[in-house]
Amino acid sequence: MPCGLFFSSYEKDDAIFQTTWLKAWMALLFVILLTFPLYADQANALLGLNLTNMLNLIFIYIVGAHGLNLLTGYTGQISLGHGAFMGVGAYTAGILANHGWPFYLALPAAGLMAAAVGMVFGLPSLRLRGLYLAIATMAAQFILDYAMRNWESLTGGSAGLIVPSAGLQSLGLDFTFDSDRSFYYLALLFAVLATLYLKNLTRTRTGRAFVAVRDRYLAAEVIGVNLFKYRIMSFGISSFMVGIAGGLWAFYITIISDEHFTMWLSVQYLAMIIVGGLGHVLGGIFGAIFFVLLPELLRIPAEALTDVYPNIFGIFASLREMVFGLIVILFLIFEPDGLAARWHTVRAYWKLWPFSY
Amino acid sequence: MAAQSGPGFRNSPSQTAQEPAQLILEDIHLRFGGLNALSGVSFGVKKGSIQAIIGPNGAGKTCILNCICRFYQPYRGSITFEGQDISHIPTHRVAELGIARSFQNIELFRGMTVMDNIKLGHHVHMHGGFISGGIYLGKAKREETRVRKEIEERIIDLLEIEAIRKKVVGTLPYGLQKRVELARALAMKPKILLLDEPMAGMNLEETEDMARFILDVNDEWGVTIVLIEHDMGVVMDISDDVVVLDFGTKIAQGSPAEVSRNPQVVEAYLGSEAAAHSKLGL
């Protein structure tokens, strides 16, 4: 039995999944994810939840959370405008789809539009850091929010914008991603692509420069990292990803209104990556899972107690925000590195089990 | 300018006209509000030499490095590197010219591994962008592997840090962090290396190791070294030429032996003669 990991080439040492066991577990996870729709109905009936819908939301939020994690976790620049940038992506995709663009063109366009807007609002990051940048990006949130609500000729205002489902008709295929089950594969694909992209980016030159800008920007400058370029680039890539998430959201929900893309969503995104783990690729995944599961988990005790206290459901519903805030505070105190760090600790423990010392 | 006419004054730009120095500082004036940090400092650094800068605390030694790295903008004077005036280029461009530095207070990226820190030093010599890097097939992968091999076989081997190369920098002891910072500077493939107190806070063994690495780099790679150091034993042993600063002016320049005999240096820098002799190890 080997007493450690040994590699005979730099390529093997730099691989993401280094051991046969890890590869096997990942393959198993993928088989489960790919075959999930086949037994989704039974699972949903068993648990009393709509798991397909939850997974779709998780996948969409993973794309967005990865985007914000790149900006905040890796480059160290806080943004309170990502809810609005997601909205920019959603409206771009929605409006283009209404003009007859197929989804596979509308989605990248949504990303690019969000990236352009994000880079413009990221310009203050050259001078501002920390709290001041947070306020500057919050301004972006309010400006864009206002535009989405009041530019009625473009966005449909508070009445909302109806978006056709994503379909492959323009490719000659009669297929539409109009159900939870069919959309599942589309969302899964984007979540996987976003995860791979983030992982690869952060282990190559650009990603290292982002972390350098975060940790010590003076030293970063001395080693030749152009601070301005990388700060803006980080805003661009991050907004691109959250814009894609917005586009997916538009094609999934098929009716978008400004109500979804408020400050609350920006804060939720931040909370997601804090709870999941800032600066970890797993952080966005865990965070997205956590925040889609949380309301469902809060519903279970509420429903169980409805017979005894008929009013409790309403109370629990309003408690949601409080519980949300409480959880973020508890994470900041007890596990500031998030679920991803906890996951690494657990894995390290089992690696040495039962001889943990 | 009276300070420049001290007996140790040598190697000034005008006197080395026949063989121009690699790095020339001419009449540097730097001011913070009402405080004159540097007033009229000039000296040249010969290619391939080890140039020490010494002086009491607050003499302006680090200010000189910060001027060369373009953190500070002198209000008068010019800095020329290999014939090119660098007094107005942006900070991040200095690295591309082949000027690397280490810091007095370690400026490593603490959350990253030793390997990633050193790879970051290679930043200006790599070309991968955010698209090829994100896809990590072909070009980016080949480049990463090539750089990894180069760093492993040239720098990590030279500095004897194989065992810690996958450790997170923040968890390492101080002496090793200093060594990693040197490694990162070397990964920049510098022509000139500015070291700000590389031996500060080290024990005797670590100091000797560091001195050996500096000599190796200077000797084998032909890298010019500019060294700020308080450990007089090291300065006297390894440097070819010493500049002495006091209150922002140069009070002497010359070989270690000349400088240590200079009465002005002894007076200004080391206080009484008896203390000076013990400090200079004479």
pLDDT-based confidence at residue B194 (cuts at 50, 70, 90)? very high
Q: Is B161 domain-assigned? A: yes
Q: Is B144 on the interface with A (CB under 8 A)?
A: yes
User: Residues of A with CB below 8 A from B186's CB?
Assistant: none
Buried b (16+ CB within 10 A) or exposed e, A196-228: ebbbbbbbbbbbbbbbbbbbbbebbbbbbbbbe
Note down the domain range covering B25: 2-98+190-280
User: In this complex, which of A207, A216, A223 lies closest to B188 when CB atoms are compared?
Assistant: A223
Mean pLDDT, range B37-51, rounded to an integer: 92
pLDDT of residue B6: 39
Q: Is B138 on the interface with A (CB under 8 A)?
A: no
Q: Is A153 domain-assigned? A: yes
pLDDT of residue A351: 74
Q: Are residues B35 and B157 in the same domain?
A: no
Q: Is B142 on the interface with A (CB under 8 A)?
A: no
- What CATH number is associated with residue B52? 3.40.50.300
Q: Please write the tens of the pLDDT for every residue from A210-219.
A: 999 999 888 8
Paired tokens of A86: 């997601």
Count CB-CB contacts under 10 A for residue B61: 24
Q: Is B112 on the interface with A (CB under 8 A)?
A: yes
Amino acid at A39: Y
Q: Is A24 domain-assigned? A: no
Note down the domain range covering A332: 49-352
Q: Please write the tens of the pLDDT for every residue from A27-51.
A: 999 999 999 888 888 888 888 788 8
| Domain final residue pick, B183, B209, B236 | B183
Domain count, chain B: 2
pLDDT of residue A1: 45
Q: Is A222 on the interface with B (CB under 8 A)?
A: yes
Per DSSP (E only), the strands in A168-206 are 176-177
Domain count, chain A: 1
Left (φ > 0), alpha (ψ -120 to 50) or beta: where does B83 sit? left
Q: Are residues B69 and B85 in the same domain?
A: yes
In this predicted structure, the answer to whether residue A199 has a pLDDT above a threshold of 90 is yes
User: In this complex, which of A10, A197, A209 lies closest to B134 when CB atoms are compared?
Assistant: A197
**Between A195 and A309, where is the model more confident?**
A195
What is the separation of C-alpha B12 from the centre of its chain, rounded to a whole number of angstroms? 20
CA-based nearest residue to A284, from A243, A339, A233, A245: A339
Strands B35-45 and A176-177: unpaired
Q: CA geometry: angle at A316 spanning A312 and A321, to 5°?
A: 160
A165 exposure class (CB count in 10 Å sphere: 0-12, 13-18, 19+):
middle
Q: Are residues B151 and B259 in the same domain?
A: no
Q: Are residues B160 and B204 in the same domain?
A: no
Q: Are residues B48 and B174 in the same domain?
A: no
User: In this complex, which of B92, B121, B140 lies closest to A221 when CB atoms are compared?
Assistant: B92
ipTM given for this complex: 0.83
Q: What is the model's pTM? A: 0.87
H/E run at residue A349: helix A338-352
| Domain final residue pick, B153, B183, B213 | B183
User: In this complex, which of A197, A205, A227 lies closest to B123 when CB atoms are compared?
Assistant: A205
Q: Is B106 domain-assigned? A: no
pLDDT of residue A4: 65
| Domain final residue pick, B148, B168, B183 | B183
Q: Are residues B207 and B73 in the same domain?
A: yes
Chain A nearest CA to B257, separation (Å): 34
In this predicted structure, the answer to whether residue B246 has a pLDDT above a threshold of 50 is yes
Q: Is A6 on the interface with B (CB under 8 A)?
A: no
User: Residues of B with CB below 8 A from A208's CB?
Assistant: 112, 116, 119-120, 123
Paired tokens of B232: 């007089």
Q: Please write the tens of the pLDDT for every residue from B213-240.
A: 999 999 999 999 999 998 888 888 999 9
Q: Do B152 and A216 touch (CB under 8 A)?
A: no
- What CATH number is associated with residue A169? 1.10.3470
Please report the number of interchain residue pairs, chain A to chain B, with beta-carbon separation below 8 angstroms: 107
Q: Are residues B10 and B86 in the same domain?
A: yes
Q: Is A4 domain-assigned? A: no
Q: Are residues B196 and B93 in the same domain?
A: yes
Q: Is B103 domain-assigned? A: no
Q: Is A18 domain-assigned? A: no
Q: Please write the tens of the pLDDT for every residue from A279-331.
A: 999 999 999 999 898 888 777 777 777 777 777 667 766 777 787 788 888 88
Q: Is B159 domain-assigned? A: yes
Q: Are residues B199 and B92 in the same domain?
A: yes
User: Residues of A with CB below 8 A from B195's CB?
Assistant: none
In this predicted structure, the answer to whether residue B274 has a pLDDT above a threshold of 60 is no
**Measured torsion, CA atoms of residues A95, A101, A107, A111, in degrees rounded to the nearest 10:** -60
User: In this complex, which of A10, A14, A208 lies closest to B120 when CB atoms are compared?
Assistant: A208
Q: Is A35 domain-assigned? A: no
User: Residues of A with CB below 8 A from B152's CB?
Assistant: 10
Q: Are residues B20 and B81 in the same domain?
A: yes
Buried b (16+ CB within 10 A) or exposed e, B259-275: bbbbebbbebbbeeeee
CA-based nearest residue to A261, from A147, A99, A102: A147
H/E run at residue B174: helix B174-187
| Rounded Cα gap, residues A236 and A230, in angstroms | 10
Q: Is B104 domain-assigned? A: no
| Rounded Cα gap, residues A171 and A102, in angstroms | 9
Q: Could you tell me how many residues make up chain B?
A: 282
